[in-house]
A and B are shown apart, each in its own frame.
Chain A
Amino acid sequence: MNMQQRNVMEYLDKTVLQYPDKVAFSNGDIKSDLTFAELYKSSRAIGSLLSIRGYYAEPVVVFMKKHPNAVSAFFGCVYGGCYYVPIDEEMPKFRTELILQTLKPRVMICDEETAELSRGMDYDGEVILYDEAIKTAIDDQRLGKIRDEQIDTDPIYIVFTSGSTGIPKGVVACHRSVIDYIENLSEVLEFNHETRFANQTPLYFDACLKELYPTLKFGATTVIVPKQLFMFPVKLVEFLNEHKVNTVCWVVSALTMISSFKTFEKVKPEYLDNIAFGSEVFPIKQLNIWREALPNAGFTNLYGPTEATGMCCYFKVDREFDLDDTVPIGGPFRNTRILLLNEKNELCKDGEEGEICVVGTSLTMGYYKNFEKTREVFVQNPLNDLYPELIYRTGDIGKRNSRGELCFVSRKDYQIKHMGHRIELGEIEVNVNNIEGIRHCCCVYDKEKDKIRLFYSGDIETGEVITVLKDKLPRYMIPNKVEKLDRLPLTANGKIDRKKLASM
């Protein structure tokens, strides 16, 4: 790792000299392509404008559609010494407003379409139009001064993740943890200047760091895949071939969507040789279909929480697995340490289950304007009573197998992974309970079918419940099956009987 680097934009500063005319970000439409030179220019113009207008070291909401320009806006915020907060156009207004209430941002960058949408929001700050912002004359002196003053623990982004109380939590990440992550991820996955990524994950999650920053670091190329293609497997593979994609870091459900429909009998990815996946357990049957279709490709399982800047563990698939096996999450990246702590806060013995805890530079700063929640999970290392040392408690239960590889077992609480998204069932329940006419409700997750099931009692029809929820929650949090009951089953203690509901 380059110990001199303090700022993530140093990646772009260097690469633009080497590959000015190479396409950095594309969405498959040549008119939208951004070369490194264009990216450098537009993001520095945005950085200059933010500074000229007096914004510094504060959140800048980037509310744009998924497009190379959104990436340029992110980097513009960083050049300007601010931190970007991506908001999605498909996010329901209610959730966006919750996020805005937490942030109280003074400025937002929009494209033409989202600027229109922003007018309907409870927001009275400035709206900067991307197309206008990039016309700003670049002020090298300002940008240089900002760079000199910035330190590597300054934030660069906030991404919001599901919160069990119904309010999303904003995870704040800084230059240092992102640089640490990108350096070590790149080493593990062996990215280089010939890497051609296909981005799948939304830009409003940390998952897209895997493409964004290695693209800058190596002068690689990222093609943003239109979201609709993830419904149509043959078209998706054809897209990968058309754009000569050789590397994907996708959620498991995007990969299994291709393999489960026998797509490979029709068309195979011709260039793809580096496949990283994460966020969910990869069913071995599907993994085998992939490995059979692409026998020369490398497959890597990645694991990590947003709070530790994306991914922190990896496992390179190196052997056959039985159908009832799970792919290990392996071990930590360099410069990250994993502690497996049992209920007594002691290190687990061989094969003992315990909570996966992360130690190291990869830890983010914590939750924005939420010291209480931060202190619950970013805690003093219980094994160290000599000096302050933070660990992040993931809430994931893991154990080591007989080979010493770390394996994910389950969650400690009601957090689930669904279609690659991290969801607190509690957040869904809070929103259901707020609907007029609901008496009781409970959400359970059917792991086998990957379905969120909502049970409720009350004087409201199921269709109406879903309609109301669609205004409150992002698409991926809407229950897949909603069932109305006369009353919810209770346990002997009078709590809602989740086990019984799950078996219904």
Chain B
Amino acid sequence: MEELIKILKDLHPDVDFDTCETLIDDKILDSFDIVSVISEINEEFDVVIPAEEIIPENFNSAKALYALIKKIEDED
């Protein structure tokens, strides 16, 4: 989780990713961020997020995103 928070903090140091659950709804993340985050997750966790998982629900909070990473890791 810490690594993920760091990836997100690098993009938006002013956001509290531990608590924020409206990253998409409140337009905190934009399309550039999504692309960056997915590529960094790929490097850091060696996890490829498939296109069908790139949906608002999975990106609204660091927690949801982390759960997605874990889910994909478990499937492998």
Binding site for B on A (CB under 8 A): 90, 228, 230-235, 253-254, 257, 260-263, 265-266, 419, 451, 461-464, 466-467, 470, 475-476, 480-482
Q: Check B14 for interface membership: any CB of A closer than 8 A.
A: yes
> Chain A residues with Cβ under 8 A from B36's Cβ?
451, 480
Beyond A231-B31, A262-B50, A467-B14, 19 additional pairs, beta carbon < 8 A: A228-B27, A228-B56, A231-B29, A233-B51, A234-B55, A257-B31, A257-B34, A260-B35, A261-B51, A261-B54, A262-B51, A265-B51, A266-B52, A419-B31, A462-B13, A463-B14, A480-B36, A481-B10, A482-B13
Complex Cα spacing A463 to B17, Å: 13
> Chain B residues with Cβ under 8 A from A262's Cβ?
50-51
Closest to A462 in B: B13
Complex Cα spacing A234 to B29, Å: 18
> Of residues 1 to 36 in B, which have CB atoms within 8 Å of A's CB atoms?
10-14, 24, 27, 29-32, 34-36
Task: Write the nearest CB–CB distance from B68 to chain A, whole angstroms.
Answer: 14
When the two chains form their complex, are residues A228 and B24 in contact, meaning their CB atoms are under 8 A apart?
yes
Q: Which 5 A-B pairs have the closest CB atoms?
A: A463-B13, A263-B51, A261-B51, A467-B14, A230-B31
Complex Cα spacing A485 to B14, Å: 19
Contact with A along B38-76 (1 / 0, CB 8 A): 100000000001111011100100000000000000000
Task: Write the nearest CB–CB distance from A285 to chain B, whole angstroms.
Answer: 14
Interchain CB contact (< 8 A) of B30 among A263, A475, A481: A475
When the two chains form their complex, are residues A232 and B55 in contact, meaning their CB atoms are under 8 A apart?
yes
Q: Could you jot down 28 A-B contacts, CB within 8 Å?
A: A90-B27, A228-B27, A228-B56, A231-B24, A231-B30, A231-B34, A231-B56, A231-B59, A232-B54, A232-B56, A234-B52, A234-B54, A235-B55, A254-B31, A257-B34, A261-B38, A262-B50, A265-B51, A266-B50, A266-B51, A451-B36, A462-B13, A463-B13, A466-B12, A475-B30, A476-B32, A480-B32, A481-B10
> Chain A residues with Cβ under 8 A from B38's Cβ?
261
Interface size on B, residues (CB 8 A): 23
Of B11, B38, B52, the most chain A CB neighbours within 10 A belong to: B52
Task: Write the nearest CB–CB distance from A65 to chain B, whole angstroms.
Answer: 13
When the two chains form their complex, are residues A234 and B51 in contact, meaning their CB atoms are under 8 A apart?
yes
Task: Write the nearest CB–CB distance from B64 to chain A, whole angstroms.
Answer: 14
Task: Write the nearest CB–CB distance from B54 to chain A, whole angstroms.
Answer: 6
When the two chains form their complex, are residues A480 and B51 in contact, meaning their CB atoms are under 8 A apart?
no
> Chain A residues with Cβ under 8 A from B49's Cβ?
261
Complex Cα spacing A251 to B35, Å: 15
Task: Write the nearest CB–CB distance from B15 to chain A, whole angstroms.
Answer: 9
> Chain A residues with Cβ under 8 A from B32's Cβ?
253, 419, 476, 480
Complex Cα spacing A262 to B53, Å: 12
Majority-rule SS of A interface residues? helix
> Chain A residues with Cβ under 8 A from B11's Cβ?
480
Task: Write the nearest CB–CB distance from A126 to chain B, whole angstroms.
Answer: 30
Known: A257-B35, A419-B32, A480-B36. A231 touches B54 (CB 8 A): yes
Complex Cα spacing A253 to B32, Å: 9
When the two chains form their complex, are residues B13 and A466 in contact, meaning their CB atoms are under 8 A apart?
yes
When the two chains form their complex, are residues A470 and B14 in contact, meaning their CB atoms are under 8 A apart?
yes
Complex Cα spacing A464 to B13, Å: 8
Task: Write the nearest CB–CB distance from A12 to chain B, whole angstroms.
Answer: 32
Complex Cα spacing A464 to B12, Å: 10
Known: A230-B31, A231-B30, A257-B31. A466 touches B14 (CB 8 A): yes
Task: Write the nearest CB–CB distance from A421 to chain B, whole angstroms.
Answer: 10
Complex Cα spacing A228 to B34, Å: 11
Complex Cα spacing A476 to B31, Å: 10
Task: Write the nearest CB–CB distance from A474 to chain B, whole angstroms.
Answer: 11
Task: Write the nearest CB–CB distance from A39 to chain B, whole angstroms.
Answer: 29
Closest to B35 in A: A257
Task: Write the nearest CB–CB distance from A378 to chain B, whole angstroms.
Answer: 33
Complex Cα spacing A228 to B9, Å: 21
Task: Write the nearest CB–CB distance from B20 to chain A, whole angstroms.
Answer: 14
Of A228, A261, A451, A481, the most chain B CB neighbours within 10 A belong to: A261
> Chain A residues with Cβ under 8 A from B55's Cβ?
232, 234-235
Complex Cα spacing A96 to B35, Å: 28
> Chain A residues with Cβ under 8 A from B54's Cβ?
231-234, 261
Complex Cα spacing A230 to B35, Å: 10
When the two chains form their complex, are residues A261 and B13 in contact, meaning their CB atoms are under 8 A apart?
no
> Chain B residues with Cβ under 8 A from A476's Cβ?
32
> Chain A residues with Cβ under 8 A from B24's Cβ?
228, 231
Complex Cα spacing A376 to B54, Å: 46
Closest to B34 in A: A231
> Chain B residues with Cβ under 8 A from A419's Cβ?
31-32
> Chain B residues with Cβ under 8 A from A260's Cβ?
35
Task: Write the nearest CB–CB distance from B29 to chain A, whole angstroms.
Answer: 7
> Chain A residues with Cβ under 8 A from B12's Cβ?
466
Task: Write the nearest CB–CB distance from B65 to chain A, whole angstroms.
Answer: 13
